[in-house]
């Protein structure tokens, strides 16, 4: 059964929260796909991961970098899983989630009603998923 984690980013931006979430995921042995809404957003998140902390490094790549099989974290705007990820982090509405064991949705800018609608809209997530709620 796949697990869905909702991360309510109330006190920090996605750019600040994403590295923490990715560090935890990698520490637990996950390979991760981060799906953004556009190629421009992918490049923005790519830059954020390079500069989020001076002494830290998260190995990651995107189509611009190539070699997805070597990347533990893959940034994309496409419905793809080229690095064999077991986890997907969505910064956009999912198109397909059948390939993943764990899904993390950010809920940025949705507000309380939007988050509730996103969590409980029939068909939004597969019936085989177990939703959970978390804060960063």
CA distances from 43 to 2, 6, 40, 124 (A): 28, 24, 5, 27
CB burial of residue 16 (10 Å; 0-12, 13-18, 19+): middle
pLDDT attached to residue 109? 43
Q: Which overall architecture, per CATH, does domain 3-135 show?
A: 3-Layer(aba) Sandwich (3.40)
* pLDDT tens digits for range 64-100: 999 999 999 999 999 899 999 998 888 765 555 455 5
Dist. CA 4–CA 84, nearest whole Å? 18
CA distances from 96 to 41, 45, 70 (A): 19, 21, 23
* pLDDT tens digits for range 26-73: 999 999 999 998 999 999 999 999 988 888 889 999 999 999 999 999
Domain boundaries, the chain: 3-135
Strand order in the sheet with 73-76: 61-62, 73-76, 32-35, 87-90, 102-105, 3-8, 130-135
Dist. CA 55–CA 112, nearest whole Å? 35
Structure tokens at 66: 């190539």
What angle is formed at CA 107 by the lines to CA 28 and CA 121, rounded to 5 degrees?
Answer: 105
pTM (2 d.p.): 0.71
């Amino acid at each position: 059964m796949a697990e869905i984690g909702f991360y309510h980013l109330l006190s920090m931006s996605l750019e600040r929260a994403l590295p923490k979430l990715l560090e935890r995921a990698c520490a637990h042995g996950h390979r991760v796909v981060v799906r953004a809404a556009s190629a421009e957003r992918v490049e923005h998140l790519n830059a954020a991961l390079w500069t989020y902390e001076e002494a830290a490094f998260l190995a990651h790549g995107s189509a611009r970098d190539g070699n997805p099989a070597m990347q533990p974290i893959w940034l994309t705007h496409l419905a793809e899983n080229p690095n064999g990820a077991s986890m997907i982090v969505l910064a956009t509405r999912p198109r397909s989630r059948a390939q993943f064991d764990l899904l993390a949705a950010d809920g940025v800018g949705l507000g309380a009603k939007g988050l509730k609608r996103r969590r409980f809209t029939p068909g939004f997530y597969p019936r085989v998923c177990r939703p959970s709620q978390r804060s960063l």
